[in-house]
Amino acid sequence: MGMDKKTVVLCDDHNIVRAGLRQIVESFGDFHVLDDVSTGEALFPLFRDQAPDVLLLDISLPGRSGLEVLKQIQSMYPQVAVLALSMYPEDQFAIRMIKAGARGYLHKDSAPEVLEDAMRTVASGKQYISADLTRLMIEEMAKDDSELPHKSLSDREYEVLLFIGEGKSMTEIAAQLSLSIKTVSTYRSRILEKMRLKSNSDLVKYILLHDLTPGGADPTKSAS
């Protein structure tokens, strides 16, 4: 195994699914499957020896559910990037898995190239969130204004968010705020992470949905 390869463990209770996943993941070239198991309980002895970079975790498992297993993994091995796999539509379990700490959620019918993109995304420390899941999360957040994610932003992050909503480039925002482009890019990354969104397009959609404008009331007064 090349030293630059990311390590992977597969957890699914169907033998054929695990065998297929192993073959597909190994074909990507930059991943190495350490092992595959059929239950959540079997993961922890493996992790004591070597925790992988990425865990492909089925939601429906015998015994403890994938959600329960995910929560324990997040507590004990927070460095492991968990990509949840399921036959359930995103509107049933995806948001719960993401809230519990999964870096991404993928339907088992997804094409191999989608799986590859998702794995590389979560392995790099980012979240993989599809356009459909982004929409669902925005709808979910809109149900309870007290929990809207933009309220967790600092004053400067909120300011950058509004400039992005106006369509300004990183260069324009940097000039406007007398900051370096690198610093503005860092703020953008923090905003996306805190709001669990993936792109500027997602941010613009969020701003439009919640009617956030530069002249509006600042909802982040309690944020530090």
Q: What is the pLDDT of residues 166-177, one digit of tens each?
A: 888 999 998 877
Q: Per-residue confidence at 216, pLDDT binned at 50, 70, 90? A: very low
Q: 9 pairs with which residues across the strands? A: 35, 55
Q: What is the pLDDT of residues 36-47, one digit of tens each?
A: 999 999 999 999
Annotated domain spans of the chain: 6-128, 136-209
Instruction: Please tell me if the domain spanning 6-128 has the same topology as the one spanning 136-209.
Output: no
User: Which of 11-25, 105-119, 128-142, 153-167 comes out lowest in average pLDDT?
Assistant: 128-142
Question: What is the structure's pLDDT at 143?
Answer: 63
CATH classification code of 6-128: 3.40.50.2300
Q: What is the pLDDT of residues 10-64, one digit of tens each?
A: 999 899 999 999 999 999 989 999 999 999 999 999 999 899 999 999 987 776 7
CATH classification code of 136-209: 1.10.10.10
